[in-house]
Structure 1
């Protein structure tokens, strides 16, 4: 049964698909998309000296050992790195997390940065699946701690600092 009208698109292969016809898709695929999202880069810090355990935590502020652990990990405003030796903190630094505002892939990027910086232990209340995969593949240990606790208190609870 014919209605006398050509099918959608006038019969010339211009259906009402994703892009309204004329071969226009969503702008992704075959190199026609907008490209990868630009992302800030965190410079890796030098690896710790031998016999030093490097610990990382995401924090709400940059107060070193007194910084409070953030509820979110990869998108926290600061990343605090603490070097421990013989039950004492020998170095502590808080770094502004430039990756936090990234559109996508933030967890993987932060995880790779932590691994390249020599971190062997991460303190966090919760980790997403992507950063957990990166850290576990690199052999980085993860300890779950409640948000709002200071890093020093979390290290004492885990008996890493006396």
Structure 2
């Protein structure tokens, strides 16, 4: 599996149930990478989507502890093992924090937007730079939006 995340310099990814910032180029990249694939996320992440609706052009798998939850346009799983069996190898884990942590070991590629800023946050992604089982496979040139500098970094799990 793959994962895709935007994180600040402290690996923060959210505050009060929302992203730390919105970068139009990053949103376009997210759409380009995930369209046509399966995306995996939690119920709280779904609430941040436009209209709190599943993403179009993708198979949506939602991990939730909430019994009996039904979401039109999505498949809901309470059991992590069942979700893993249902997810194809090219699926993208897209958040939030608990879903990333639960499925990080099932992923072999991480598409990370590193934002050169630091915000107060309450959600964090594991620091891949400090993990011996991950390495930087590539990094693109820095980009800028309204004074925020960011770059796309691809990490891969060591064999």
On whether the aligned pair clears a TM of 0.5, the verdict is no
Bigger Rg over Cα: 1
TM-score normalised by length of structure 1: 0.26
Relative CO higher for 1 or 2, CA cutoff 8 Å, sep ≥ 6?
A: 2
More strand by share: 2
TM-score normalised by length of structure 2: 0.26
